[in-house]
Chain A
Amino acid sequence: MSPAIEALQALLAAEHRAVYGYGMVGARLTGTPRTQATALWDAHRSRRDQIATLISDAGGEPASPEATYALPAARTPALLAAALEEGVLAACVPLAGVRSANLRRMAAQGMQEAMIRAVRWSRTAPADAFPGLTPAEVAPAPTP
């Protein structure tokens, strides 16, 4: 698998999870928040399909969704939605480092979109200075 296809598959897996999770979120909400959850469920389904198409166009076999997912523990449906978005954000990171400029741009935009959605759900500012990155990814490797 090329690095680009591998990165796209990781993002696709996160989108499958988000589609599943938003179904749960919507079922537990009413009124305006429910409408918002449904809109985001639709948005994640569209993004899922877009990524699957990119993978097959590149000669890959898009990963199938799981039957069920163990969802992040969250006190409220809104916080569950925020956690789902954070998962999508983290899954964009490999794609932000591939060779294709278009895919990098898509990844960077995806991370900002996911973060904005997470903040809207949680009403709290980003907790980390480097969302989605592990400590090793933040610090540069020592030069020989």
Chain B
Amino acid sequence: MPLSRRAVLGGALALGLTGCDEKAPEELRAGPEVAILLTAIAGEEQMITLYEGVAAAHPGLSASVAGPLEHHREHLAQLRRHYLPGTGRATPAQTPVLPPIPVPAGRAPALTALRAAEKMAAAARIKDVTQVPPGLAQLFASIGACEAGHAQALMYR
């Protein structure tokens, strides 16, 4: 038996699909954490590009950079999972774009550049933890610890 017109209309009203003056579905609002998440994502992408550049320019360092590079890829993957595209007004135009960090020609300066990038990222995570929801704060705190650890470990290369 076909659905009654009333039943169909009732369903459509619930979905906000009619032109009636029913209350529209609540607009998803972006919390402040969206901007912070997007900046962190951009930072990880910048870091990955730097590591890849160092590995390409300094094959002797590829063993040293493989571990942190893999970690940053995992950070990026998890941060992306936390970001739901379409929440609020964050648009691709508002996604921060960070310029690539130049890859130094010398081996020692390249390591210095990696350490500096890790330290800056770790410092940024300290600021981030106070401005995001609890679960994300713990993730950021952990990522920051990883970054601080790599900054230190690169001293031994």
* B29 interface hit (Cβ, 8 Å): no
CB < 8 Å: which of A124, A138, A143 contacts B139?
A138
Task: Kindly state the interface size class of chain A when it binds its partner.
Answer: 35 or more
CB pair B82 A140 closer than 8 Å: yes
List 11 additional contacts besides A92-B141, A125-B67, A138-B78; criterion CB under 8 Å: A93-B138, A93-B141, A96-B141, A105-B126, A105-B130, A115-B149, A115-B152, A125-B150, A130-B146, A132-B142, A140-B81
CB < 8 Å: which of B67, B138, B146, B152 contacts A96?
B138
* A57 interface hit (Cβ, 8 Å): no
> Which residues of chain A are within 8 angstroms of B82 by Cβ–Cβ distance?
140
| Binding site secondary structure of chain B | helix
Q: Among the listed stretches B15-23, B45-53, B68-76, B91-99, which one makes contact with chain A, having 4 or more residues with CB under 8 Å of it?
A: B68-76
| Binding site secondary structure of chain A | helix
B77 shortest CB reach to chain A, Å? 9
> Which residues of chain B are within 8 angstroms of A112 by Cβ–Cβ distance?
122, 126, 144-145, 148
